[in-house]
Chain A
Amino acid sequence: MAAIIAENLVRRFDAFTAVDGISFTVQPGEIFGFLGPNGSGKTVTIKMLCGILPLTGGAAQVDGIDVVRDPDSVRARIGYMSQKFALYDDLTVRENLRFYGMVYDIRGAALARRMEEIIARIHLEPFLGRQAGKLSGGWKQRLALGCALLHEPHILFLDEPTAGIDPVARRQLWDLLFEFSGHGMTFFVTTHYMDEAERCSHLAYIYYGRLIADGTPLSLRQLPDMTPAGTYRLEITTSEVTVALRRVRALPAVRSATIFGRSIHALIDATCPQQELARAIGDDGIRIEDLRPLAPSLEDVFVELSERRQRELAA
């Protein structure tokens, strides 16, 4: 049985269509990454799946239960961490946890045991008596995760759980997700970070209400035609990245160029050979260390898909 089945989900706000007939299936135990630009309908989709926003059209099953027919049962089986930090600032870490446990009707010894378990798994021990509002961003998110996990949900929805927290905290949070996922829990995660997308087992990309990609990170990167016809991708590693970037961008044949660390990723018209590029960067002290063809990254794929969709809409 699939963990989540969305069929032709539609959500309109008056005349505006925020989600326009999207379908996808998430298998149990997957970490499903849901990506898309700001305002493309990620949060709206999550709210529909969690049973807090009615569907305008379509159908959805979460953990085998119809969201429209029985939203209450859906709520009891899922966890949801909203995009905005939504715990009680004036309650301590322990009180927040206890409250969420009580809300799910866990009582007495069972609640105490479950709290200890979560506290140990998420390593919240040092902050138990601290008010949630006084935690740093990363610890707030960990606490939110703990609260969402207390009742052992089968599926956890996380709406941009790592927005605005530092790379170490981000990495730690993801490690936690992997740990829980290893125990069979399904995760539905939205993010704007490509490195996080790479860590998902299943990705979908929504572009202004339409789903335009669905697959594993590998399958998406290997999609045919992700490099536009008549162009090729090149990775240029050089000693003077910023100067080189300026010179590369000045070439009319270069469609786009971006810095990644000490190299430049460029999309170039096929009419312009590599040697011409090397010549343009010049020889006045700038050394080209490496020049090699590049497979499209996930980001490249999403940018390409978005532009294609944009052209379709314009046509």
Chain B
Amino acid sequence: MNPFTGFQAMAYKETLHAVRDRFALFAAFMMPLFQLVVLGYAVDTNVRQVPTVVFDQSGLSAGDGQSGNSETRAFIDRLGNSDTFHVYRHVRSDDEMNAEMIAGRARVAVKFPPEFARNLLRGQSAEVLVLVDGSDSAVAGQAVTVSGQIALDESLRRLLGEHAPHPIDVRPKIMFNPASRSPNFFLPGMIAILLVFVTTMLTAFSVVREKERGTLEQLIVTPVRPLALMLGKITPYFVLGLSEMCALLLFMNFVFQVPIHGNAPLLILLSTCYLFVNLTIGILISTKAASQAEAIQLAMMIILPSVFLSGYIFPRDNMPAIFYGLSFLIPATYMVNISRGVILRGAGAAELWLDALVLLALGVIVLLLAARRFRRMIL
């Protein structure tokens, strides 16, 4: 018998359900856009204007509380002029300095010991203490790096003279995201994650609802084939997912000004493979879940690892071997790569066809698994 018998009927009926429940459809469509906007503004991981206090024992002798000697002032000015530090206060004791750090008002404290200026003038090594709050690793890392760079720069200037060229001058150039804007990096990945919800959840619900209402049993007595039933069910959600993808790209491009370096239609084409996997996973969940509550739990069990292991938040290269291995089984991994590839690196089909193929293969495997479970559930 034709394995697709009943496909049209299912697609027709499922579309009617979706259209009938306009509010749910609208909510499902708006949710990811809303999340994109909120998260897009929230995730700015670029470290700028870190609140900094200065305790200048060396300059205190001047008596006005301000750094009184030119040696420390030159250094403090360079800190302040970097975009990284914002010197908001000068303190006069260790206690005061510690209090600022503990209260969290200061993330960085710079302390010049009394002998700083003297040592510097004598040509001896002068020490500066830079205290860094390690509770935010991105801030701490950048504070250490930048303060070290400033010290090195100052040292070279003193050794070589004011305008002498540095013996070696490193000119780093960041490709693909030259301004290192974090939305550029995060939003392409986020799109992959946000798409999971409209696809996986909605399909899982739609089958479980039929189970709860008893209509599934009635369907099973008809000649509808399991494969046709499942494909028919995912059809309207596939269309919804595809429109969602386009809407997310438009928002990213126009609201957050993230440029798409590659070919946008190609990206949308490749994303169909990803939508397909997620939809089939939704169906697989629904063959297992007996109620909508159970479906949510199962879906969460699958979606949460996608968020953490896909490379969207934590770089996959740094993962322990077992998680790195697991990440290959997660569809979002491939989609994050496709999305960043096209949007940031301008990658094309030549670079990304394998990712798309893996997604397609995963989708077919999950679909067949679901069809088998479906048949067993029926009988």
Contact = CB atoms under 8 A, between A and B. Distances in A.
The answer to whether A and B interact is yes
A52 B9 CA distance: 20
B223 A86 contact: no
Contacts of A105: 5-6, 223
Given A54-B379, A90-B21, A105-B5, A99 B221 contact: no
A76 B215 CA distance: 18
B337 interface: no
A82 B12 contact: no
B16 A90 contact: yes
A269 B217 CA distance: 50
Contacts of B17: 88, 90-91
A102 B14 CA distance: 13
A104 B221 CA distance: 11
* Chief secondary structure at chain B's binding surface: helix
Nearest to B379: A54
A103 interface: yes
Considering residues A52, A82, A99, A104, which has the most beta carbons from chain B within 10 angstroms of its beta carbon?
Answer: A99
Contacts of B220: 52
A86 B217 contact: yes
A211 interface: no
A103 B216 CA distance: 13
Contacts of A99: 9, 12-13
B290 to A, nearest CB: 16
Interface in B178-226: 213-215, 217-224
A58 B160 CA distance: 100
Considering residues A53, A89, A102, which has the most beta carbons from chain B within 10 angstroms of its beta carbon?
Answer: A102
B6 A102 contact: yes
Interface string A73-91: 0011010101011111111
Nearest to A131: B20
Contacts of B221: 50-52, 75, 78, 80, 82
Given A75-B222, A76-B223, A103-B222, A52 B215 contact: no
A85 B213 CA distance: 8
A209 B12 CA distance: 41
Contacts of A78: 221
Contacts of A100: 9, 222
Contacts of B214: 82, 84-86
Contacts of A95: 13, 16
Contacts, number: 68
Nearest to B19: A90
A48 B213 CA distance: 21
Considering residues B21, B221, B224, which has the most beta carbons from chain A within 10 angstroms of its beta carbon?
Answer: B221
Nearest to A89: B213
Contact of A82 (B20, B21, B218): B218
B8 interface: yes
A53 B221 CA distance: 10
* Chief secondary structure at chain A's binding surface: loop
A51 B378 CA distance: 9
B197 to A, nearest CB: 23
A88 B13 contact: yes
A91 B16 contact: yes
A174 B13 CA distance: 30
A72 B1 contact: yes
Given A88-B13, A91-B16, A99-B9, A82 B217 contact: yes
A105 to B, nearest CB: 6
Nearest to A147: B218
A68 to B, nearest CB: 11
Given A104-B223, A105-B6, A80 B21 contact: no
A75 to B, nearest CB: 6
A90 B20 contact: yes
Nearest to A83: B214
Interface string A89-101: 1110001001110
B13 A91 contact: yes
Interface in B217-249: 217-224
Contacts of B1: 72
B316 to A, nearest CB: 43
A53 B336 CA distance: 44
Interface in A163-219: none
B379 A86 contact: no
Contacts of A52: 217, 220-221, 378-379
Given A82-B217, A86-B217, A53 B379 contact: yes
Interface string A245-283: 000000000000000000000000000000000000000
Given A72-B223, A76-B223, A102 B217 contact: no
Nearest to A91: B16
A54 B220 CA distance: 13
Interface of A: 50-54, 72, 75-76, 78, 80, 82, 84-91, 95, 98-100, 102-105
10 contacts: A51-B221, A54-B379, A75-B221, A84-B214, A87-B215, A99-B12, A103-B6, A104-B223, A105-B5, A105-B223
Shortest 7 CB-CB distances between A and B: which pairs? A102-B9, A86-B218, A80-B221, A84-B214, A103-B9, A90-B20, A103-B222
Given A80-B221, A90-B17, 15 more contacts: A52-B379, A72-B1, A75-B222, A78-B221, A82-B214, A82-B217, A86-B215, A86-B217, A86-B218, A88-B16, A95-B16, A99-B12, A100-B222, A102-B6, A105-B6
